[in-house]
């Protein structure tokens, strides 16, 4: 069952990630290696799990396609956010994206509405925390 409001939530994940990326990109000279690895791992992990939950819950019979799409999303997010610092953080983001991209659809197949709400809160809180952490540097 495809619910239209779920797609609004799904698109809001990407809007939040894009806004956070450009906010962090402005101050990328302030980002240390440790904080860069946290950024790459958090962004790819949260996006992989949350996108996997939504796609897996909406298309439970297309598990392979959902897993591949979620893998691509989380790997790209990890690589983009990791490239803010250097190649080591990019590799960390990609590897974290692989783990989250495989794990998210598994959660999504058995997901209910509260799990989707928790995933949505996880995305907004995580990206908000990453942007707020930059202010405290």
Query: What pTM was computed for the model?
Result: 0.91
Question: Sign of the C-alpha dihedral, residues 31, 22, 42, 97?
Answer: negative
Residue 27: inside a domain:
no
pLDDT of residue 28: 87
Residue 68: inside a domain:
yes
Residue 33: inside a domain:
no
Place of tokens 């949260």: 46
Place of tokens 């908000």: 128
Residue 46: inside a domain:
yes
Domain count for the chain: 1
- What is the extent of the structural domain holding 102? 40-135
pLDDT at 137 over 70: no
Question: Sign of the C-alpha dihedral, residues 5, 63, 53, 90?
Answer: negative
Residue 90: inside a domain:
yes
Q: What is the pLDDT of residues 54-63, one digit of tens each?
A: 999 999 999 9
Q: Six-digit token pair at 39? A: 């950024």
The answer to whether residues 88 and 127 touch, using CB atoms and an 8 Å cutoff, is: no
The answer to whether residues 82 and 75 touch, using CB atoms and an 8 Å cutoff, is: no
pLDDT of residue 113: 86
In 3D space, the residue among 115, 86, 101, 94 whose CA is nearest the CA of residue 9 turns out to be 115
Residue 13: inside a domain:
no
d(CA 21, CA 104): 22
Question: Sign of the C-alpha dihedral, residues 116, 117, 118, 119?
Answer: positive
Residue 8: inside a domain:
no
Q: What is the pLDDT of residues 57-110, one digit of tens each?
A: 999 999 999 999 999 999 999 999 999 999 999 999 999 999 999 999 999 998
């Amino acid at each position: 069952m495809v619910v239209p409001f779920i797609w609004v939530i799904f698109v809001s994940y990407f809007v939040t990630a894009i806004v956070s990326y450009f906010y962090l990109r402005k101050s990328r000279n302030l980002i240390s290696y440790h904080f860069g690895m946290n950024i790459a791992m958090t962004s790819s992990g949260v996006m992989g799990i949350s996108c996997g939950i939504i796609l897996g819950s909406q298309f439970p019979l297309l598990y392979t396609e959902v897993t591949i799409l979620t893998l691509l999303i989380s790997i790209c997010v990890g690589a983009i956010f990791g490239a803010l610092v250097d190649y080591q953080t990019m590799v960390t983001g990609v590897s974290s994206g692989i783990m989250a991209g495989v794990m998210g659809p598994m959660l999504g197949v058995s997901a209910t509405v509260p799990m989707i709400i928790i995933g949505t809160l996880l995305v907004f809180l995580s990206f908000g925390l990453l942007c707020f952490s930059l202010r405290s540097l």
